[in-house]
Amino acid sequence: MLDIDDMEISYGPVRAVRGVSMRIAQGEIVALLGANGAGKSSLLRGVMGLVPASGQLRFEGRDLRGLPTPQRVMAGLAMAPEGRQVFTDQTVYENLLLGGYLIRRDRERVARQIEGYFEMFPRLRERREQVAGTLSGGEQQMLAIARALMSNPRLLILDEPSLGLAPLVTVDIFRGLKRLRAEGMTILLIEQMANQALAIADRAYVLEGGSVMLEGPAAELRRDPRIREAYLGGE
Ligand code: ATP
């Protein structure tokens, strides 16, 4: 579904992503692991067209190079960025409406879609008229995911959804991701919580210094001594 070949991203002299090749098949959850500064967020930004990237990039066979971000969203990609970045002065409901505006304006269908995400994250329904800036971190993350889904993506990209969240809230978020996968969504997940990411992922890539250091089925990586030592605290 997504084919990245030999992607390179530099910020002036800093080579953040170095020749990364990666594949995501329809219906998979793929985890992208790596230490701080390994290049994970940069890779995602390159895929979304938020930073210039060289190399090949195809989504469902279509060449994405040169397409601006809104066109990539219309092609079926969506990202919930690191740090959530919801519209803090808008209500939960307004944030969701804004997430769908590129795609369609049929109010009834949009309302039904929002109702579906309220079922997935019931806390959002209770807070639908609350301005997003006053939501807890976990609620903002749920909102960021639901907002990304409003554009009807076929590939959902999540940048550290568990960042700064209490373990119980993280469980809610991951439950939502499992449900999405069961409904057929393809997901690319960046996570520092390697254990949890590998528990729901089918496959994973590990970035180090901007390059892919390891890749394979999630179950295998969970047993790999290098992963256990570096990311799972030797558990
Ligand atoms: P983290 O887990 O801390 O978010 P990451 O793996 O997502 O890290 P990136 O944010 O992609 O890593 O950063 C990769 C490298 O690129 C780092 O050395 C970072 O300092 C550098 N970098 C990222 N964004 C910029 C920028 N806008 N300008 C200059 N350097 C940048």
Give residues with Cβ within 8 angstroms of 86, minimum separation 6: 95, 132, 133, 135, 140, 143, 144, 147
Confirm or reject: Cβ of 11 under 6 Å from ligand 1: yes
User: pLDDT tens-digit profile of 198-211?
Assistant: 999 999 999 999 99
Question: pLDDT band at 162, cuts 50/70/90?
Answer: confident
Ligand 1 binding pocket includes 194 (Cβ within 6 Å)? no
C-alpha distances out from residue 14 to 8, 43, 47, 205, Å? 11, 14, 18, 22
Helix (H) or strand (E) holding 215: strand 211-217
Q: Is the CB of 46 under 6 A from ligand 1?
A: no
Q: Report the separation in Å between the CA atom of 231 and the middle of ligand 1, taken as the mean of its atom positions.
A: 19
Burial class (CB in 10 A: 0-12, 13-18, 19+), 233: exposed
Q: Is 196 in the pocket of ligand 1 (CB under 6 A)?
A: no
pLDDT > 50? residue 235: no
If you take atom 25 of ligand 1, which residue's CA is the nearest one? 11
The helix/strand/coil state of 219 is helix
Smallest CA-to-CA distance from 45 within 69, 20, 71 is with 69
Q: What is the pLDDT of residues 22-81, one digit of tens each?
A: 999 999 999 999 988 999 999 999 999 999 999 999 999 999 999 999 999 999 999 998
144-153 pLDDT tens trace = 999 999 988 9
Distance from residue 127's CA to the centre of ligand 1 (Å) = 34
- For ligand 1, whether the C-beta of 45 sits within 6 Å is no
Q: Which of 194, 205, 221, 181 is nearest to 23 (CA)?
A: 205
